[in-house]
Structures are given as C-alpha cells and as structure tokens.
Amino acid sequence: MRKARTRAMATRPKPPSMADERDSEGLAAMISRLAAEGNDYARAELRAYRAGMADRITAARTAAILFVGAIVLALATLVALLVGLILALATLIGAAGATAVVVLAMLLLAGLMGWIGVGRIKHALRKEKK
C-alpha cells in the first residue's frame, strides 16, 4: 500500500512555481514579439514587391506609348504610300480612276484579311470532339 501511495504522489502534477510562471510569461512575450516581427517582415516584403511592380508598370506604360506611336507613324506612312500610288496612277488613268483602283485594292485586301481572321477565330473557338 505504501508503494501505491508513493506512486500516486509521483504522478500528481506539481503546483506551478514562480519560476514556471516567469517562463510562461517569457514564452508569451517571445511569441508576441515573433508575431510582430513576422508582421513587420511581411509588410516590408509587400512594400518591396509593390515598389518593384510600380517600376515594371512604369516601364510597360512607356513601352505601350512607344508602340502606339509606332503604329500611328506606320499608318501615316501607309497613307502617304497610298496617296503616292494614286498620284502615280493618276498620270496613266486619271485621278478618279487611280483613286478607284487604289480604294478597291485596299478594300479587297482588308476583306481578305478579315475573312482569314474570322476563319482563325472560328477555328480557335471550335470545340474539340471527344
């Protein structure tokens, strides 16, 4: 019976001492500090990511502006080329005939490009058969 009592006393939880309370307060403070530092780290990473993205967006915006400018200049060049073609043909078939030929040729080219584009879109949107 004495062995049972000794065994029971050995398995009973000990009441918390002052040292255990200080350790648990220290642990709580460490966990709180760890959470705060993790939060600060995440915020700093987010700021760095945003700064990098802002630089990339600025570069992309500049590139887009340059592309639009290039397209506008290319269209202006195409118009100049068509006007020159009309003027060159005007000496052979007259101004009205040259204009009609160039306009019809461009409309045929635009229609052909549109027809091919519609076919490509239909092909891309076609459902695959299983």
29, 39, 48, 83 from 35: Cα distances, Å: 10, 6, 20, 71
List pLDDT tens digits, range 15-70: 555 555 555 668 888 888 888 888 989 998 998 888 888 888 888 899 999 999 99
Distance CA 60, CA 58 (A): 5
Distance CA 99, CA 107 (A): 12
List pLDDT tens digits, range 83-107: 999 999 999 999 899 999 999 999 9
- At 4 the pLDDT is 54
- At 22 the pLDDT is 52
DSSP state of 17: -
- At 6 the pLDDT is 55
